[in-house]
Amino acid sequence: MRVTERLKAGGRVFSFEFYPPKTDEDTARLFTAAVELKRLGPDFVSVTNSSSGAAPYRTVALCGVLKAQLGLEVVAHLTCLAHTREEIAEICGGLRKMDVENILALRGDPQNVAPAALRRDYSYASQLIADLKRLGGFSLGGACYPEKHPEAPTPEEDIRRLREKVDAGAEYLITQLFFDNASYFRFLERTAAAGISVPVLPGLMPITGYRQVRKFTQLMNVSVPAALRSGLERWENDKAGLFAFSVEYASRQGEELLRGGAPGLHLYTLNRSRAAIEILRNVKGAAAA
């Protein structure tokens, strides 16, 4: 089933995100996690890729395996900075052969692309979405940033670019991770004011320590609420306590988002299942209570 069809069918949509493994150990961890998470009945799983030229082909292969062997509905991430239009069409052909009908269309990170690998066919995700729309046959999603894309000079410019994605054919959006729900709800107000009415799935990730916090704060300008920072400080030297706190924080965050009208939750798993399983069980249990 296409993601757009699932979103239109009603009910809450729950999904997980994986990334293609690079080692045998990573591969084993990924498939263990995928098998365990499948038991929770996710509506779909997404598979990331980096912005390098070869990465999408690993994404296509993993999407095919997850769909054929595990029966999971799959969304393939597709970046465009390192690809020509002809290469994009070839990648889409591979996805069709794997019976993958869903694409999350992304520009990609320029800093991750070697200058010699950059192509000139695409500068923005909206251009990729427009091409994919013309190719046909896919349900198309886009990415969004509740606290503003790091490269956007202003929130208004960020929303203008997002509107271009939707106008080009993005049928739903998945947010970058955030830790303050107020930023998500303010974002929805701004998108609505700009005439953007597609569903916006919030993306959540349990935090395991200050290293992650520093990474997200520096790379993506993600704010860290006092309650999260306080908990990380309290449990910094207690691995079990930190895990429990992180799961609890993400669970309460998810519950509040759903109560506020979010269409579902997208969980960033880092190819591990334990935290994602506990969070989703907590959230579904609270919704059923």
> With helix as H, strand as E and coil as C, how does the chain read?
CCHHHHHHCCCCEEEEEECCCCCHHHHHHHHHHHHHHHCCCCCEEEECCCCCCCHHHHHHHHHHHHHHHHCCCEEEEEECCCCCHHHHHHHHHHHHHCCCCEEEEECCCHHHCCHHHCCCCCCCHHHHHHHHHHHCCCEEEEEECCCCCCCCCCHHHHHHHHHHHHHHCCCEEEEEECCCHHHHHHHHHHHHHCCCCCCEEEEECCCCCHHHHHHHHHHHCCCCCHHHHHHHHHCCCCHHHHHHHHHHHHHHHHHHHHHCCCCEEEEECCCCCHHHHHHHHHHHHHHHC
pLDDT at 54: 58
Count the alpha carbons within 13 Å of 148 in the hemisphere toward its beta carbon.
11
pLDDT at 258: 96
Per-residue pLDDT averaged across 211-239, rounded?
Answer: 85
pLDDT in tens, 21-72: 888 999 999 999 999 999 999 999 999 986 555 567 789 999 999 999 999 9
Phi, psi of 181 (to 5 degrees): -60, -25
Cα 203 → chain centroid: 6
Nearest alpha-carbon partner for 20 in 9, 31, 12, 11 = 31
Rounded Cα–Cα distance for residues 199 and 166 (Å): 11
23: which 2 tokens?
A: 């080692």
Is the separation of the CB atoms in 137 and 37 below 8 Å?
no
Q: Which residue reads 């998500």 in tokens?
A: 184
Q: Is 41 left (phi over 0), alpha (psi -120 to 50) or beta?
A: left
pLDDT in tens, 11-20: 999 999 999 9
101 a catalytic residue: no
Rounded Cα–Cα distance for residues 171 and 117 (Å): 30
Inform me whether the pLDDT recorded for 211 exceeds 90: no
Per-residue pLDDT averaged across 189-199, rounded?
Answer: 97
Under 8 Å CB-to-CB from 188, ≥6 apart: which residues? 200
pLDDT at 57: 79
Question: What is the amino acid identity at position 8?
Answer: K
Cβ neighbours of 158 (radius 10 Å): 20
pLDDT at 214: 75
**What is the model's pTM?**
0.94
- The catalytic residue among 5, 17, 248, 255 is 17
Is the separation of the CB atoms in 5 and 141 below 8 Å?
no
Tell me the average pLDDT of the chain. Answer: 91
pLDDT at 118: 75
Domain boundaries, the chain: 3-284
- Decide which of 2.40.280.10, 3.20.20.220, 3.30.70.100, 3.40.50.300 is the CATH code for 3-284: 3.20.20.220
Q: How far apart, in Å, do the first and last CA atoms of the chain sit?
A: 29
123: which 2 tokens?
A: 């500068």
Inform me whether the pLDDT recorded for 272 exceeds 60: yes
* CA 202, 261, 286, 234 torsion-angle sign: positive
